[in-house]
Chains A and B, each alone.
Chain A
């Protein structure tokens, strides 16, 4: 193992170190705990950027230590182009959420535990994207769930947070168990837990086993993606969770489902083996897109509106993945990233609105544009972004997803409906923006004294959204390389 390999382990070890310090440092104030968390996440962000040179040279970075040698299980991490994209997105979102949390009222009590859990949540996601061992993958996958559940239970809002956390845990755990069944099957069949080795061998499984595993993998990961009808955990969890956790849940954790679909069924089995499921994935994506948008239209709670929009946006991603074409899959990977940025921005705006107006009902908030001009501009950009308005990022990913749909060989009308369904996104986002910022109903009291941490992080994400939209080239290249890294070539 070379220096880069040891550096790679830092992505998982540094947050662990942060967690240990935070648990021991019981007298840490919220700011101190947050700064420690931010430092830890910043390091986790810098490392993959340093390792980028290795990837550019055509070498993936691997770190491996024997863990349970008798069973062939090891602590193996691998950084390739696909994991890099998801890793950077997740770390960036967590970093933005941590900066945002400095101005947020959540996590004032037992701050050291709060940030320790945030770090564990992030570690779960980082580990999931890096794990090159199926058991390690599963451990990180569950760590992500446990940490987020504990955050909701301990710092969530409302009386029913325990109930919501339980619902979130059970539904997503069902998905995790389905994934676990497949992982065990792989291990039993090939006697190795190495994901790299399994990627080479899995296609030799009998066709019926492959079909069974693809179905289980897809359902398992679709639960994490909150695809209709297994999305039920999402609106409640997003609503009850403290705002930084909501940001991470919506912007980063949902993308883990997409990563799972790409890393397991797509990478393990051939695209031919996936072909029988392509149409169903596209239809499920289309239904989710329309259904989520309709729910966002009907919903009155501003936090839940944005939560339902995630169900809709994940529908686009599944649609693109289902097309099994170059454009569709690359578009889906790009959509994950763009969606993460837009969703982080919109939830940040919602958090500020909640803090300012102390009201969640969209019918009771209005006319905030004059009182909060900067937030209005940020929200306008976010709303245009999610509507797929060029030159903002989602436009780039959406058109590639649609291009994939047209290229899939399935009836053109399916993609045309999906494309026209995107008009629903425009309707709910305009309603959201128009009512809150220009509506007639004004809340009784608006506290316009916004914390600098909230404002800076929101503006920074807005600027980042614009920049990413204007320069889609690097992300497109990375996404293509990501697809090559798991498929061995472009479809």
Chain B
């Protein structure tokens, strides 16, 4: 633990927290300077880590009887450097804002996010990574607050991200059983020996977490809500850092896809379905059309496809480019420069074709065909979307003006509309609010009928017991009363007899009888 990379990493985790503490006491101007100093230190540290190369080390700190380990490799470092580049860009463009939260609070949030980021990218243990993801999830929800009068964005974001976290936790815990360790490498290796059923649960849990973290359809609702807050910190944490963590999670779990061929096929179908769904529903956005959300969705879905089939290095490269593309698109949104339609389409086409050429030897034929078909489709769609500039056009508007329709049949519109309204909006976007309301209604019903019913039963039982007690008491009183009466009658009778006896004259003529008895007794005792 005395080598430079481990020291740098520990400093990278500690220094932001230290700065976070200092930020509490700083004024606006000094705060900004210190903030850039922190970014500079962190950037320098990450670059040093990249140059020092791969290194695994164990600390003296312990989590559940297991030493906390870290693994420094190039992939997370580059992802984190890209995140930091995004932060530089966004911060440079906006400076520290005077937002709903004071700048000081924002700076503290970023400090915590940087520390949590280090933990998430470099921790050798799944549970540490989980903790970091939870912390960043909470920060995303906190930074999305635009007013304390309306905490719904906070609640919905926190809940959606929590769902992803819980599915990841389930996957980790299923993996934990055979491995009996929280070490990521051991757990992933052990997963190969698990039964198919457990492997499927693990993969489903992780995949769902990735879909939530990278805000992929149909779990992208949280990112849309977060992006309504225009502060750069919200944009950075929600649209760059959290998805980068999701990408890295995908990179780490990629070996699991290889354990069963059926996983690859299912993932292929899933990624293709998501890609098609994204393309369809993007056309029908009720909210303004966003190239960022569309391209992010396309790139992320394709990354999942790649994870199922491709070798790790190529996947890592694709993830770097996907993240870089996100940053560029976000920056372009911030500076309000529109991307030429052909540009985004060609970018995707070139990127994916290059990947296909590089990885075609490892890919099976179905994957190659699907990859190419989806790339062409997505590129064409991007071009069309950009060209027709459907900003703020709703389905209704599109249907009313047939000349604005894309060359698709009405049937396709209906499918897309159904997907968008029922799945994205109906289930996942507003869904959680509905779920909450549903829970509330269910809770009210259960409270009134079951809890109330049990209360009634209890009351009846109690009343019944009281009635029985009263009745028993009454019986007892009656018996007691009768007994008393009997005793009284007996006593009265005895008294009466006594009085009668006392009233009689003494029979002196019979006095000899006791005298004779006494004499006999004396005689007997002496004899």
Q: Indicate whether B65 reaches chain A with its CB closer than 8 angstroms.
A: yes
Q: Per-residue 0/1 for A285-302: is the Cβ within 8 Å of any B Cβ (1 yes, 0 no)?
A: 000000100111111000
B176 touches A406 (CB 8 A): yes
B134 close to A389 (CB less than 8 A): yes
Complexed CA–CA distance, A213 and B475 (Å): 37
In the complex, the answer to whether A427 meets B131 with C-beta atoms within 8 Å is no
Say yes or no for A126: interface residue by CB 8 A criterion. Answer: no
Pull 21 A–B residue pairs with CB atoms less than 8 Å apart, ordered by A.
A291-B446, A294-B439, A295-B447, A298-B443, A389-B138, A395-B131, A399-B173, A400-B64, A402-B170, A403-B176, A406-B170, A412-B174, A412-B201, A423-B159, A423-B163, A426-B159, A427-B439, A430-B158, A438-B149, A473-B65, A476-B65
**Bound form: Cα–Cα A114–B158 in Å:** 44
- A403-B177, A416-B170 known; A427+B159 contact, CB < 8 A: yes
Q: Which residues of B contact A296 (CB under 8 A)?
A: 443
B311 CB to nearest chain A CB (Å): 31
Contact call B148/A369, Cβ cutoff below 8 A? yes
B151 on the A face (CB < 8 A): yes
The A287-322 residues at the B interface (CB cut-off 8 A) are 291, 294-299
Closest to A418 in B: B170
Residue of B nearest to A473 (CB): B62
Q: Which residues of A contact B436 (CB under 8 A)?
A: 427
Total CB contacts across the A-B interface at under 8 A: 103
| Interface residue B127 (Cβ < 8 Å from any Cβ of A) | yes
Given contacts A294-B446, A402-B169, contact A438 B151 (CB under 8 A): yes
Other than A295-B447, A430-B154, give 13 A-B pairs with Cβ distance below 8 A. A166-B462, A229-B454, A232-B455, A294-B442, A294-B446, A389-B134, A402-B169, A406-B173, A422-B166, A423-B159, A426-B158, A430-B159, A434-B154
Q: A390, A395, A400 — which one has the most chain B CB atoms within 10 A of its CB?
A: A390
List residues of chain B with CB under 8 Å of any chain A CB: 62-65, 127, 130-131, 134-135, 138, 148-149, 151, 154-155, 158-159, 162-163, 166, 169-170, 173-174, 176-177, 197-198, 201, 436, 439-440, 442-444, 446-447, 451, 454-455, 458, 462
Q: Report chain B residues within 8 Å CB of A416.
A: 170, 201
Chain B neighbourhood of A229, CB < 8 A: 454
Asked if B174 contacts A232 (CB within 8 A), the reply is no
Which residues from A are CB-within-8-Å of B201?
A: 412, 416
> Which B residue sits closest to A408, measured CB to CB?
B177
The answer to whether A415 has its CB under 8 Å from any CB of chain B is yes
A146 at interface, CB cutoff 8 A: no
Report how far A369 CA is from B462 CA in the complex, Å. Answer: 43
Q: Across the interface, do A390 and B134 meet the contact criterion of CB distance under 8 Å?
A: yes
A391-B163 Cα distance, complex, nearest whole Å? 18
Q: Could you tell me if A434 and B169 are in contact, using CB atoms closer than 8 angstroms?
A: no
How many angstroms between the C-alpha atoms of A227 and B197 in the bound complex? 32
Instruction: Give the Cβ gap from A431 to chain B, nearest Cβ, in Å.
Output: 8
Closest 6 pairs (CB-CB, A-B) = A298-B443, A298-B447, A294-B443, A390-B131, A297-B443, A438-B148
Write out the residue numbers on chain B whose beta carbons fall within 8 Å of the beta carbon of A294.
439, 442-443, 446-447
Residues of chain A with a CB closer than 8 A to B138's CB: 384, 389
The SS class assigned to the B binding surface is helix
B441 to chain A minimum Cβ distance, whole angstroms, is 9
- Bound together, the chains give a CA A434 to CA B158 distance in angstroms of 13
Complex alpha-carbon distance, A400 and B66, angstroms: 14
What CA separation (Å) do A391 and B115 show in the bound complex? 14
On chain A, the residues within 8 Å of B163 by CB distance are: 420, 423
- Docked complex Cα distance between A396 and B446 (Å): 31
Nearest A residue to B151, CB-CB: A434
Q: Is the CB–CB distance between A423 and B166 below 8 Å?
A: yes
Pick the contact of B197 from A297, A400, A412, A415 — CB < 8 Å? Answer: A412
Please give the distance in Å from A177's CB to the nearest CB on chain B: 15
Q: Select from chain B the residue with minimum beta-carbon distance to A401.
A: B173
Give the interface centre of A298, A399, A434 by most chain B CB atoms within 10 Å: A298
**CB atoms of B64 and A472 under 8 A apart:** yes
Min CB distance B62 to A, Å, is: 6
The reply to whether B443 and A295 contact each other, CB–CB distance below 8 Å, is: yes
Q: How far is the CA of A232 from the CA of B453 in the complex (A)?
A: 11
Interchain CB contact (< 8 A) of A415 among B170, B442, B447: B170
Pick the contact of B458: A167, A291, A423, A438 (CB < 8 A).
A167
A 423-441 binary contact with B (CB < 8 Å = 1; else 0) = 1101100100010001010
Q: How far is the CA of A170 from the CA of B458 in the complex (A)?
A: 11
A258 to chain B, nearest CB (A): 21
Q: Are A407 and B162 interface neighbours, CB within 8 A?
A: no
Say if the beta carbon of A419 comes within 8 Å of chain B. Answer: yes
Residues of A within 8 A of B159 (CB): 423, 426-427, 430
A403 B148 Cβ-Cβ under 8 A: no
Alpha-carbon gap, A400 to B177, bound state (A): 11
A439 to chain B, nearest CB (A): 9
Q: When chains A and B are docked, how far (Å) is the Cα of A290 from the Cα of B149?
A: 29
List the B side residues contacting A407 at CB < 8 Å: 177
**Taking A396-B64, A406-B173, A412-B197 as contacts, is the C-beta distance between A430 and B155 under 8 angstroms?**
yes
B169 touches A419 (CB 8 A): yes
On whether the beta carbons of A232 and B454 are closer than 8 Å, the reply is: yes
Q: Which residue of A lies closest to B134 (CB)?
A: A390
The distance in angstroms between the C-alpha atoms of A419 and B169, with both chains bound, is 9
